[in-house]
């Protein structure tokens, strides 16, 4: 298959070391996607789960190797640690195997717009204000969603159906989760506006999105635990969210309109 060529690529919330990580999909995506700059936007490695025993299948190590190979091949790789890999924050300012570890970074698109790139957990405190909160990623309800998602997709695979994220579908229909997502998005967008930037690129809540929030472009690259999504910048600077679960890229969101999930593979990506 012809590789995807993009100027910049953002992935986050890979959660290597966690059994729900979809490392095979990500490996396939990294092999197919060529970029000049790669941003790892936090929660690349799930140290929380590794401390609880965790899992480290061979594919998880292969993901790290694929990223290092890109750095060695001349791709500029930035690593912005998140809350599940905050141990990496002890190494801010260092370059490890060509991967530069930074607390956050400003990305400038080909068309001159400036975006704050941050994992997003800084905004947790703002989101928590105003009542009891569902803390997604340590929450038993979330683990249950992922468990159901895994068994549902095992059944789908048996019948030759492609991967489909049941957990993402259900999450959007749980009022408390939807309210949490909305509050998070508003808090992160507000921070970008406060700094006079054009937009923000983050992860953390495992919910990919690309939309305008009061004049700020809010981009969330999603995750590789349930939705298998990435944010890409086309050569002309336009941003898109790709979903990669069926050996090909499907655009699920682009500026400024949301497309249906069944959108065809991007024409600009061919060749
Ligand atoms: Mn996180």
CA–centroid distance, 86 to ligand 1, in Å, is: 9
pLDDT at 267 over 50: no
> How far does residue 42's CA lie from ligand 1's centre (Å)?
7
Tens digit of each residue's pLDDT (9 = 90 or more) over 141-199: 778 888 888 888 888 888 888 888 888 888 777 777 788 889 999 999 999 999 999 99
Instruction: Measure the CA–CA gap between 121 and 146, rounded to whole angstroms.
Output: 21
> Can you tell me the distance from the alpha carbon of 199 to that of 262, in angstroms, rounded to the nearest whole number?
27
Domain ranges, ordered by start, for the chain:
4-269
The pLDDT tens digits of the residues spanning 197-245 come to 999 999 999 999 999 999 999 999 999 999 999 999 999 999 999 999 8
pLDDT above 70 (res 265)? no
Per the structure block, which two tokens stand in for 194? 């406060």
Ligand 1 midpoint to CA 85 (Å)? 8
- Alpha carbon of 139 to ligand 1 centroid (Å): 13
In the CATH scheme, what is the code of domain 4-269?
Answer: 3.60.21.10
Cα(66) to ligand 1 centroid in Å equals: 22
pTM for the structure as a whole: 0.87
Handedness of CA 86, 92, 94, 100 (dihedral sign): positive
Cα of 46 from ligand 1 centre, angstroms: 9
Tell me which of 175 and 105 has the higher pLDDT: 105
């Amino acid at each position: 298959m012809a590789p995807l060529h993009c100027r910049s690529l953002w992935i986050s919330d890979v959660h290597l070391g966690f059994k729900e990580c979809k490392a095979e999909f990500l490996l396939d995506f990294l092999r197919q996607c060529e970029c000049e700059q790669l941003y790892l936007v936090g929660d690349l490695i799930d140290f929380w789960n590794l401390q609880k025993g965790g899992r480290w299948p061979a594919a998880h190590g292969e993901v790290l190797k694929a990223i290092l190979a890109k750095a060695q091949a001349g791709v500029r790789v930035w690593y912005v640690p998140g809350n599940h890999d905050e141990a990496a924050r002890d190494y801010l300012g260092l370059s490890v195997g060509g991967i530069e570890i930074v607390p956050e970074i400003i990305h400038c698109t080909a068309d001159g717009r400036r975006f704050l790139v941050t994992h997003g957990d800084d905004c947790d405190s703002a989101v928590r204000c105003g009542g009891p909160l569902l803390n997604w990623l340590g929450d038993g309800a979330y683990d249950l969603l992922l468990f159901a998602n895994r068994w549902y997709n095992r059944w789908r695979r048996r019948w030759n159906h492609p991967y489909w994220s049941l957990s993402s579908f259900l999450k959007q229909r749980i009022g408390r989760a939807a309210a949490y997502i909305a509050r998070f998005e508003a808090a992160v967008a507000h921070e970008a506006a406060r700094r006079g930037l054009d937009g923000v690129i983050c992860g953390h809540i495992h919910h990919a999105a690309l939309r305008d929030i009061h004049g700020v472009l809010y981009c969330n690259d999603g995750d590789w635990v349930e939705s298998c999504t990435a944010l890409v910048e086309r050569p002309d600077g336009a941003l898109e969210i790709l979903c990669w679960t069926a050996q090909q890229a499907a655009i699920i969101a682009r500026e400024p309109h949301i497309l249906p999930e069944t959108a065809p593979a991007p024409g600009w990506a061919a060749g």
